């Protein structure tokens, strides 16, 4: 293989890889954005009708669809400008070279302890709350529009923020790393039509921010005292305090630690197999 042919192969591999990365992020955005799912379904339906009209020789329908296909992209850009802007903002908030503070095990345990203590008190007292924990996707757009706090996480502070007479109790609290960054944050309301109509604004806001980012949103209902957690566009409703704690522990667990644990389990299995084999040889 010559150098030029090798370079050509590498260029094709890079080209195909970039296309697949683009397709991956487009599909990921479609999955987490209800409006974009509807747009995608509409485009698929138009393409199917166009194919059927050509196959059945439906001249009028085919001609109309040609105009739709010709001017459709421009119309979509104009009509769905807010949704396209949201997707671009979502990609812009991705922290490729992130300076996100990775919590130590002690910091993570203390954080979960303080949050769950506050959640337990709030649910028993029927005080509504919305706590959003930032992960890889930055929430700075919402932080700048809320009230800055920048304080260590404590159950007492969280409870006082959501106390009914506090001016900030209607908004959400944003946590970055092991600190409460802001309170009174306003999040986008989910447009998911499958969500129960009895659920209020807090639940819809929790689901909305989980659709636009990878944040963890914890909700306490002021009417029922039930705990809910929204993750990746899915609302887990009516969790017990123990279930909520275990889910939070699992979601905040570093991926690197998970891989190390898996490797440790594999090494442990290998060692156990070696011991069993050794035992078998001794018995023989």
User: Comparing C-alpha atoms, which of 151, 119, 146 is closest to residue 229?
Assistant: 119
Q: What is the dihedral of CA 152, 156, 157, 162, to 10 degrees?
A: 150
Contact between 187 and 174 under an 8 Å Cβ cutoff? The reply is no
Quick one: pLDDT at residue 65?
79
Residue 109 tokens read as 């345990």
Query: Which residues, including other chains, have CB under 8 Å from residue 50's CB and lie 6 or more apart?
Result: 62, 65, 66, 69
Whether 206 has a pLDDT exceeding 70, the answer reads yes
Report the distance separating Cα 75 and Cα 94, nearest Å: 28
Beta strand 147-152 with 227-231: parallel, antiparallel or unpaired?
A: unpaired
Q: What percent of the chain has pLDDT over 70?
A: 75
CA distance 85 to 150: 29
pLDDT tens-digit readout, 136-190: 888 888 988 899 988 999 999 999 999 988 888 888 999 998 899 999 999 988 8
Q: Taking residues 33-39, what's their average pLDDT?
A: 65
Give the least confident one: 21-35, 111-125, 141-155, 231-245.
21-35
Tell me the pLDDT tens digit for each residue of 46-58: 888 888 888 888 8
Q: Does domain 105-256 have CATH number 1.20.140.10?
A: no
pTM for this one?
A: 0.61
The pLDDT of residue 136 is 83
* Domain regions of the chain by residue span: 3-92, 105-256
């Amino acid at each position: 293989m010559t150098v030029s042919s090798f370079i050509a192969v590498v260029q094709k591999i890079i080209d195909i890889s970039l296309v697949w990365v683009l397709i991956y992020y487009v599909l990921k955005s479609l999955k987490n954005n209800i409006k974009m799912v509807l747009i995608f379904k509409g485009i698929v339906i138009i393409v199917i009708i166009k194919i059927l009209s050509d196959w059945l020789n439906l001249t009028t329908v085919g001609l109309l669809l040609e105009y739709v296909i010709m001017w459709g992209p421009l119309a979509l850009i104009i009509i769905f400008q807010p949704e396209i802007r949201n997707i671009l903002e979502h990609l812009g908030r991705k922290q490729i070279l992130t300076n996100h503070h990775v919590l130590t095990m002690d910091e993570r345990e203390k954080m979960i302890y303080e949050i769950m203590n506050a959640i337990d008190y709030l649910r028993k007292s029927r005080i509504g709350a919305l706590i959003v924990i930032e992960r890889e996707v930055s929430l700075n757009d919402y932080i700048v529009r809320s009230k800055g706090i920048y304080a260590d996480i404590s159950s007492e502070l969280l409870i006082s923020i959501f106390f009914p007479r506090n001016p900030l109790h209607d908004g959400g609290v944003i946590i970055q790393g092991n600190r409460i960054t802001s309170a009174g944050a306003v999040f986008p309301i989910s447009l998911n039509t499958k969500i129960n109509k009895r659920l209020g604004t807090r639940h819809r806001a929790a689901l909305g921010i989980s659709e636009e980012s990878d944040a963890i949103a914890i909700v306490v209902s002021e009417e029922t005292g039930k705990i809910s957690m929204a993750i990746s566009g899915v609302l887990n409703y009516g969790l017990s305090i123990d279930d909520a704690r275990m889910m939070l522990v699992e979601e905040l667990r570093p991926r690197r630690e998970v891989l190390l644990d898996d490797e440790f389990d594999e090494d442990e299995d290998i060692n156990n197999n070696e011991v069993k084999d050794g035992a078998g040889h001794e018995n023989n």
